[in-house]
Amino acid sequence: MVGVDEYYSFASNKFISFVKHYFFLHISPNFNSMNWLKKLAVFIFFLKVAICSNAQTNAIKANKDGLVVINKKRDYFTSIQQGPEKKMVAVDNYLIHAKYDWKYATINNFTHQVLYKHPAAYTRTQAAKALQLIEIDLNEQGLGLIIYDAYRPYSVTKKMWEAVPDDRYAANPAKGSNHNRGAAVDVSLYNLQTGDPLLMPTPFDDFSEKAHHNYMQLPQEILQNRSILKNVMTKYGFIALDTEWWHYYLPNAVSSFEILDFNFRQMRSLNQE
């Protein structure tokens, strides 16, 4: 899909080429060129106004909370034309040794509902490239990533908030989640040689104080494992969420990326186009 600026530039250039061609072939040398150029400038101005007005008519409407949520294919492709870094990519294409544990595709999660169907890990390109560097670093230490969650449809965030309306542990739909923006991941570590998960302070999605990064009343091995994960994630640009040892997100995600609401089959289709 062609963006507004690209369309305006294309239309203007085509029109100017046509008029120049017509002028040199059909207009006599005695024609008042200054008057002609003024009229041409006025025409181009109104052409741009018309195109911009049409773009505003087709603009994405904010929801009741004032959030712009992209759930249409054409709007998604328009957004990535405006900023290629907004492209969503399959994490599988960047990681070799990652394991996936989709708790939200089972009832074994804090909502006790199946929230995901046919899940796969997607993030913005920036996050996927960072995860690739993280995996290389971890592999040199004999470790690999376990991924619990990455991109999350906005509609799922609403269901989570209904179950746990506490913004220390669940994203308020009125603000949206960095998972919805494709800019957050929930991760842990495993031993590459044995395949066993490393011991961490709590299970995934535990909402006790033990899941906080500043909780220190833990065995030294667990403190060290948590520290290894945090150090490698922050080394490559992610920020740790204070209340969840597993949750990491990109800086400036709210201002950089729109909220998305595509299910996983739709996301897979978008990545194939």
Q: Residues with catalytic annotation?
A: 244
For residues 150 and 59, what is the distance between their CA atoms, to the nearest angstrom?
28
For residues 149 and 51, what is the distance between their CA atoms, to the nearest angstrom?
40
For residues 211 and 204, what is the distance between their CA atoms, to the nearest angstrom?
9
- Cα 22 to its chain centre, rounded Å, is 48
Please, are residues 265 and 239 in contact by the beta-carbon 8 Å criterion?
no
- The token pair at 91 is 């994490």
CB atoms within 10 A of CB 89: 19
Strand partners, 186: 149, 247
